Amino acid sequence: MEHLESDLITFSIIVPCYNQGHFLKDCFNSILNQKFRDWEVILVNDGSIDTTQEIAESFVNRDSRVSCLFQENKGLSAARNTGMAKAKGQYLLFLDADDWVETDFFTNIQESITKNKGFELYSYGYGYWDKPQGHCYHYHNSGLNGEIYPSVLTRNIGPCHAQLIERKFANQLGGFDPSLKSCEDWDFWIRAGKMGARLKYTPIIGVGYRYVPSSMSRNPKVMYKSLSEVSKRASKVDQRLSLAGKFNIATSLNLIEERKNFFFQNLGVMIHKNQVAEALEWFENEKQKNSWVIRDADFYRMSTYLTWQYFNRLDLIEKLEKFLLPSLNQFFDSLGVKKSKSKKIIRQLLKSQLMIKNHLKYGRILGGTLNRLKLY
């Protein structure tokens, strides 16, 4: 059994897990294989009924820096809060059970922290992968630096695993909100922004995000409701924080436009799930309820990382065309959109994928020529 090489714990990695035991070996091994040693892992088993506890205990027995807490199922936010309460490290990393850290991540980010002391948040890039050492769909680098307020009020700074947060500062924020079924991370970062958090970006790829294009388990109506709620909260004084928070003030936001943006993002998810009839009814109801003026550009928002934005393999693109085009055509036909107009909108929605398809199918020269001629 290994032991800490010093009494100082620099990083506390909090891993909530609910019935994802089959991913834990990738997650834990990516941490145990790090050269940097001053860390702890706190796995919070959120009432799993699969192999989570058994696999977690095998790693607890292997390394004293790994601990496992069990609680009845309370959800992702509550699990993270349980881990936060037990954490001892200077910095917290919230790592989902199906994700992993990249080679030498803690060594590299520790060097950055040493050179750039005094920030509450440290961010880095991350990759969308089907599995470790598998296919990478996309690398994302935010490049954000400095105070995250006010931009965080209208845009999330990124997923939890893509930033470290100083533990003592994190404890001032009140934890993650268990009442939110989605977007709890954005709500957390907004509070950090209102407390004056400053972020330092390090240009490394720090973590891997397991992205499964065929998985559409997200509930678009739940996500839309949570996004709208968090956006509404963002415009107000947050009573969960000290009123002395540097930016804990009411501010003017275009909530109508924000709500419409969130709606179309999640409308895309619903159509992607081939729930066209439900999408049509939802569209008409929300349009009427909010008195929205709909423009063609609003529909372009349906292409996001939540849907097909990162489909970059020929097989995935061809599969996307096969199952998505009929749904999109049905949707716009039912809305009474002219065929010439709907064709233009759909081509814009799939522009990135169709251009990639030309390159992959016809090569760089011919594919590039077709794209310049807009033959996609």
pLDDT score recorded for residue 212: 82
- What are the residue boundaries of the structural domains of the chain, listed by start? 11-210, 254-372
Q: Smallest Cα–Cα separation from 202: which of 143, 149, 246?
A: 143
126-145: b or e for each residue (b if 16 or more CB lie within 10 Å)? bbbbeeeeeeebeebbbebe
Class of the domain covering 11-210: alpha beta
pLDDT score recorded for residue 108: 97
pLDDT score recorded for residue 44: 98
pLDDT score recorded for residue 218: 82
Q: What are phi and psi of 240, to 5 degrees?
A: -75, -10
CA distances for 93 relative to 50, 84, 257, angstroms = 24, 10, 33
pLDDT score recorded for residue 3: 38
pLDDT score recorded for residue 34: 97
pLDDT score recorded for residue 256: 92
CA distances for 77 relative to 15, 16, 122, 148, angstroms = 11, 9, 21, 22
Q: Smallest Cα–Cα separation from 351: which of 320, 329, 327?
A: 320
pLDDT score recorded for residue 216: 61
Give the global pTM: 0.93
* Mean pLDDT in consecutive groups of 10 residues from the start of the chain, 376 residues: 55 98 97 96 98 97 97 97 97 98 97 96 96 94 93 94 97 96 96 98 96 79 96 96 91 94 97 97 97 95 94 95 96 96 96 96 96 93
* Ordered alpha helix ranges (H), the chain: 24-32, 52-62, 76-86, 105-115, 167-170, 184-194, 220-234, 255-272, 276-290, 296-300, 314-334, 339-349, 351-372
